[in-house]
Amino acid sequence: MVVKNAAALGDSSTIYRLTWTGNVNNPDTTDEFSNGQQWTLSVYNPATDTGDQDPENGQDGWTVVYDRLVPKGDLVSGLGDGDEYTVFEIQGVSPSGQHLLYDINGGLSTIPTTLTYLETDENGDPNVGDNDGKLDFSDTTASYTVIFPCFVRGTMIDTADGPCLVEELPVGGLVKTADNGLQPIRWIGSRKLPADILAKNEKMRPIRIRKHALGADIPSQDLLVSPQHRVLVRSRIAQKMFNTDEILVAAKHLCQIEGIDVVDNDMGVEYFHVLFDRHEVINSNGAQTESLYTGPEAINSLSTAAREEIFEIFPELLDRDYTPMSARYLASGRTSRKLAVRHIQNAKALVS
């Protein structure tokens, strides 16, 4: 399926909401987008929210953008949807024949571009989800809820005083960074996810990167991170694909690599996120990984209390036109999976 002149509806800081409003049949047994449903898309504007400025609380601040969106999975011989995307027909607008693409991987450009979805893309990441070629409601929830990069309790972080458990790191403590030497921690957050939540939402489960999975002695011991936590990849393949030696790739997109997989966790998990003055690359269990990146998606996925704490430290994040610098190029989901496949095909380590 080729989508020409595709451009993001809003920028990365815009919050949208999809609501199932028409032909709501068997809502207790239906768990995926399908033809015949009707959806409403709304956009949130905090300036019109006279309440608590929380988009998840109440209707204040929300405005309808489209009130007749119909999933069209049967487009282009069934390529109108997949495990990680779906196409809606926008009905009731002029001219007719307009469509809205919803891809949970994000990263869509605000500049019109051409997107290509192949049959091989329909089932998404082969190691995550049910891979039935249909976008599940739970997948959309998971992609929004746990966007930020997190370390799992027990991870060892390299500091000025040697390796330290992430749960014991103090605000103000000095951590070794790849680019800027010792840097003080500005903020630390944590979140516990009980076993019942993980059982219902596979995409919230941590990813285990086993010892040596990234390269020789990298990591030096098993490393557990949130699915969206990016790890550093350094290889000739990365150079050829992205025109830079080092990139950051979300752990969930590397699950095709031997030794990297989703953890079946029946004990729950506690995630920790560590914030510096800037996006940094730090050492965790002997592997180079990212600190918390304060892009709009990550900030919007935090709790209201956490956002307020961060905004007090970094008020510039309140400026909708402000975009923080990333420590390395941030690879998108689809290209990250292609990167993993090429490393497998060429029997090359992700870090060399």
In tens, the pLDDT along 33-89 reads 888 889 999 998 877 877 666 676 677 889 999 999 999 988 888 778 888 889 999
Q: How many helices (H) and strands (E) are present in the chain, helices listed first?
A: 7, 23
The gap between the terminal CA atoms of the chain, to the nearest Å, is 36
DSSP 136: B
The predicted pLDDT at position 42 comes to 92
Closest CA to 120 of 71, 79, 72, 88: 79
Average pLDDT over residues 267-289: 96
The predicted pLDDT at position 107 comes to 64
Indicate the helix (H) or strand (E) that contains 192.
strand 187-193
Q: Which two tokens mark 25?
A: 């049949």
Hey, where are the domains in the chain?
2-144, 147-345
Label residue 128 by pLDDT band (50, 70, 90).
Answer: low
Residues above pLDDT 70, as percent of the chain = 88
Label residue 148 by pLDDT band (50, 70, 90).
Answer: low
List all residues 6 or more positions away from 142 whose beta carbon is below 8 Å from its beta carbon: 201, 202, 203, 204
In tens, the pLDDT along 105-122 reads 766 767 788 888 877 766
The predicted pLDDT at position 138 comes to 64
List all residues 6 or more positions away from 167 whose beta carbon is below 8 Å from its beta carbon: 153, 154, 190, 270, 272
The predicted pLDDT at position 147 comes to 54
Label residue 338 by pLDDT band (50, 70, 90).
Answer: very high
The residue written with tokens 């680019």 in the block is 179
The predicted pLDDT at position 332 comes to 85
Label residue 313 by pLDDT band (50, 70, 90).
Answer: very high
Q: Rounded distance, CA 16 to CA 69, Å?
A: 14
In angstroms, what CA-CA distances link 38 with 69, 77, 170, 269? Answer: 5, 21, 49, 36
Q: Is pLDDT larger for residue 234 or for residue 59?
A: 234
Which of these CATH numbers, 3.30.70.100, 3.30.360.10, 1.10.101.10, 2.170.16.10, describes 147-345? Answer: 2.170.16.10
In tens, the pLDDT along 237-261 reads 999 999 999 999 999 999 999 999 9
Residue 205 has pLDDT above 60, yes or no: yes
Query: pTM value?
Result: 0.67
In angstroms, what CA-CA distances link 25 with 29, 35, 72, 130? Answer: 9, 12, 17, 22
The SS3 call for residue 49 is coil
Cβ atoms of 147 and 25 closer than 8 Å? no
Residue 145 has pLDDT above 60, yes or no: no
In tens, the pLDDT along 187-203 reads 999 988 888 888 877 77
Residues above pLDDT 90, as percent of the chain = 49
Q: Rounded distance, CA 215 to CA 90, Å?
A: 47
Residue 93 has pLDDT above 70, yes or no: yes
